[in-house]
Amino acid sequence: MLADTSLRECVAERLRRFAVQALPAPSLRRAAVALTLIEEGDGAALAGIATPAHWSLAAAVLLTRRAEHLRNHAGQWALPGGSIDAGESPEQAALRELQEEVGLPLPPEAILGRLDDFVTRSGFAITPVVMWGGAARGLQASADEVASIHRIPLAEFMRADAPWLDPIDDSAQPVLRMPVGTHWIAAPTAAFLYQLREVCIAGRTTRVAHFEQPLFARR
């Protein structure tokens, strides 16, 4: 459980001060993802993950594994999210997708801010929206999209060995991955998690839009 509310206040203040790099990108398909901070609670267990000792990191990020039957990115780690519908803001889309994918309804007041847009190799411009999800009990995975729901402690993303940067033949920029337990997460999800760590927890202005995605994540 979270010891007090100052982590929420700290994250909100750092996002208010952060100069977001948003992309007009009218020719790209727009999407939004929900970077949701929640109480760690049950469900954080994953091989190789230790329980954080410091109160300020005794929270978690809500992640999913995508369903195996999906045409794109089947089985991959993901943040709840999807395409922005006509007339929607990124914040509205992120809230809607969060409820549709994991059954977590949140009010607009839960939104803390945005991080930088990220353009994927598959032609999407994705806006990450940071929000506060509280206890997040009674989550329910959408059978159409989600294989499993995970509460990954914030402390896991502060590991000294993160991020992993791998060279790739077709780009001068490295592929970014974030280790989680004995697994790892690929960009773009990894890029959002790394910037969340840098901006919201460490208080550093770190850009991530230049990082590459692995070949399997480009479909």
Residue 113 maps to a domain: yes
Q: Which runs of consecutive H residues, i.e. helices, occur in the chain?
A: 6-17, 90-102, 189-195
Q: How far apart are CA 124 and CA 182, in angstroms?
A: 29
Residue 80 identity: P
How high is the pLDDT of residue 72? 57
- Which domain range does residue 138 map to? 6-218
Residue 39 maps to a domain: yes
How high is the pLDDT of residue 206? 98
Q: What is the pLDDT of residues 86-107, one digit of tens each?
A: 999 999 999 999 999 999 999 9
Task: Rank 112-116, 121-125, 140-144 by mean pLDDT and report only the highest.
Answer: 112-116
How high is the pLDDT of residue 13? 93
Q: Domain of 208: which CATH number?
A: 3.90.79.10
Residue 1 maps to a domain: no
Residue 168 maps to a domain: yes
Higher pLDDT, 3 or 11: 11
pTM equals 0.88
Share of the chain above pLDDT 90, in %: 64
How high is the pLDDT of residue 101? 96
How high is the pLDDT of residue 66? 77
Residue 93 maps to a domain: yes
Report the number of distinct structural domains present in the chain: 1
Is the pLDDT at 68 greater than 70? The verdict is no
How high is the pLDDT of residue 219? 63
Is the pLDDT at 1 greater than 60? The verdict is no
Residue 105 maps to a domain: yes
**Distance between the two ends of the chain, CA-based, in angstroms?**
38
Q: What is the pLDDT of residues 28-60, one digit of tens each?
A: 899 999 999 998 765 444 565 554 444 345 689
Q: What is the pLDDT of residues 181-214, one digit of tens each?
A: 888 999 999 999 999 999 999 999 999 999 998 8
Which residue, among 193, 189, 191, 179, has the nearest Cα to 47 in the 3D structure?
Answer: 179
Q: How far apart are CA 140 and CA 148, in angstroms?
A: 9
Chain mean pLDDT for the chain: 86
Alpha-carbon separation of residue 199 from 12, 32, 109, 145 (angstroms): 11, 18, 20, 29
